[in-house]
Amino acid sequence: MTRREWLQSNPPPKAAGALRTLLTQLEQENTARQLLETNKRTYAQHVAYWNQESANARALGDMVKMNHANAQLADVQAKIAELDRQLAATAGLAARIAALQTELAGAAKCPVHQTDLLRHKNRPDDLFLCEIGPHFFLWTKYGDGARLSKVDLNKPMPDLDGKMDWI
């Protein structure tokens, strides 16, 4: 069995570094979404206010005031409709963040520093980088399973298409 074949049946964990970048983006989107929700609550108060103003003006027979209140009401309702449209577009955001956090918990971490590992760009198949070391870890066979092993830079990297014998 070659290393490449072995990797197909023993895929390495995802690199936490890449997942965390995505998570940060989603969390920023979620912060923006929360602002929309705050705005919506504020506009809902405006709706209550202009509804009351309109009713008061109607009771007094003040058509000018009532028309003004109704125009304000329509304006606020249009703003709420636009906010609802934007909120609907990002409705799945919280679930995506939760799923990503679960994925991140199972992602590759440096066995020494317990920090995020990055995929090595020159060898994304099975080589990971810890920026703190900096040091490298290879996803490789260990007993019947697999684990991250520190790379000895004095040895050549095992060939992906060579026989799987590197521990």
Q: How far is the CB of 112 from Zn ion (least distance, A)?
A: 4
Q: How far is the CB of 31 from Zn ion (least distance, A)?
A: 30
Residue of 92, 106, 133, 162 interacting with Zn ion (CB under 5 A): 133
Q: How far is the CB of 43 from Zn ion (least distance, A)?
A: 49
Q: How far is the CB of 127 from Zn ion (least distance, A)?
A: 14
Binding mask of the shown chain, residues 89 to 128, with x at each position contacting Zn ion by CB under 5 A: ---------------------x-xx---------------
Q: How far is CA 44 from CA 41, 52, 58, in A?
A: 5, 13, 21
Residue 73 contacts residue 50 (beta carbons within 8 Å): yes
**What is the distance between the alpha carbons of residues 93 and 100, in angstroms, rounded to a whole number?**
10
Tokens 């709706």 identify what position?
Answer: 47
Q: Which stretch binds Zn ion (CB under 5 A): 19-27, 67-75, 131-139, 144-152?
A: 131-139
**What is the distance between the alpha carbons of residues 27 and 162, in angstroms, rounded to a whole number?**
42
Please tell me whether residue 11 binds Zn ion under the rule CB under 5 A.
no
Residue of 57, 69, 130, 138 interacting with Zn ion (CB under 5 A): 130
Q: Is 58 helix (H, G, I), strand (E, B) or coil?
A: helix
Please tell me whether residue 41 binds Zn ion under the rule CB under 5 A.
no
Please tell me whether residue 162 binds Zn ion under the rule CB under 5 A.
no
Q: Peptide bond preceding 12: is omega within 30 degrees of 0, i.e. cis?
A: no
Query: Residue 86 carries which side chain, given as an amino acid letter?
Result: Q
Q: How far is the CB of 29 from Zn ion (least distance, A)?
A: 30
Q: What is the sign, positive or negative, of the torsion defined by CA atoms of 21, 148, 10, 127?
A: positive
CA nearest to 54, candidates 26, 76, 32, 25: 76
The residue (of 57 and 129) whose beta carbon lies closer to Zn ion is 129
Q: Which residues bind Zn ion (CB under 5 A)?
A: 110, 112-113, 130, 132-133
